[in-house]
Structure 1
Amino acid sequence: MIRSPHTLVDLDAKANIFFNDIKKELQLHRKLHAHPNDYLKPTMRYLELNLETIITGRPDILENEAAKNIQPLVEQAVIDFLLSNPSLKDKKGKDITDTKKREAYARNIIKSEITKIFNYDLDDDSFRDKDHGAVAYRHAKRLNTNTCPYCNGNFTFTIRNKRMKCRPQFDHFLNKDRYPYFALSFYNLIPSCALCNSGALKGRKLFSITTHLHPFIDDIEGLYEFRTSINAVDFLVNNEDFTLQLKPCQNVSKKERKKAMANIEVFGLQDRYGFHKDIAGDVLKKSYVYNKTAIENLFTSFKIGNHLIFKSESEVKELIMGNYLHPNNFHKRILSKLTKDIAEEFGLTI
Structure 2
Amino acid sequence: MLKLKVASPDVAKQHLETLGKRFDEAMSAWKSPFAGYPPFTSDLKRVLQSERDFILVGDVSRLHKVVQQVKHKAGPLDHYLRNRPSAKSGVRQADMEKLITKLGEIFDYSKFIYKGVGWNAYKLVGSYSLRICPYCHLHHVNYHSQKAGDPKKLELRPPLDHFLPKSIYPYLAVSLYNLVPSCHQCNSSIKGDEDPSETMPHPFDTSVALDMSFTLKGSPLGIAGVTHEELGLTVTGNSTWDEFATFFHLQERYQWYAPEVTDMLKRKQFRDESDTVVQSLMRADFILGFDPLDYEKRALGICLRDIARRQGVL
> What is the TM-score of this pair, normalised by structure 1?
0.71
- Aligned CA distance change for structure 1 residues 172 and 342 (closer, same or farther; 3 Å): same
What does 1:158-177 correspond to in 2, within 5 Å? Answer: 163-177=153-167
| Residue equivalent to 1:309 | none
Q: Distance in 1 between matches of 2:207 and 2:289?
A: 22
Q: 1:139 aligns with which of 115, 124, 130?
A: 124
| Residue equivalent to 2:45 | 44
Structure 1 position 14 matched with structure 2 position 24: no
**Counterpart contact for 2:223–2:269, Cα < 8 Å:** no
Partner amino acid for 1:57? Answer: G
Aligned to 1:190, the other structure's residue is in SS state: strand
Q: State the aligned residue count.
A: 291
| Residue equivalent to 2:178 | 188
| Residue equivalent to 1:214 | 202
> What is the TM-score of this pair, normalised by structure 2?
0.79
**Counterpart contact for 1:3–1:330, Cα < 8 Å:** no
Aligned to 2:74, the other structure's residue is in SS state: helix
| Residue equivalent to 2:268 | 287
Percent identity over paired residues:
25
Residues 27-62 of structure 1 deviation map (CA, whole Å, 9 limit, x = unaligned): 221111221213434433432343111111111111
| Deviation for aligned residue 1:160 | 10
Q: Distance in 2 between matches of 1:231 and 1:113?
A: 59
Q: 2:216 aligns with which of 197, 212, 228?
A: 228
- Taking only aligned residues, the RMSD between alpha carbons, in angstroms, comes to 3.5
Q: 2:29 aligns with which of 24, 34, 57?
A: 34
Residues 258-308 of structure 1 deviation map (CA, whole Å, 9 limit, x = unaligned): x32222222222222222111000111122333596687238xxxxxxxxx
| Residue equivalent to 2:298 | 333
Higher-Rg structure is 1
**Counterpart contact for 1:147–1:154, Cα < 8 Å:** yes
- Aligned CA distance change for structure 1 residues 37 and 242 (closer, same or farther; 3 Å): same
Q: Distance in 2 between matches of 1:13 and 1:116?
A: 26
**Counterpart contact for 1:220–1:260, Cα < 8 Å:** no
Unaligned runs of 5+ in 1: 79-90, 95-100, 300-315
| Residue equivalent to 2:251 | 270
- Aligned CA distance change for structure 1 residues 175 and 331 (closer, same or farther; 3 Å): same
| Deviation for aligned residue 1:208 | 3.4
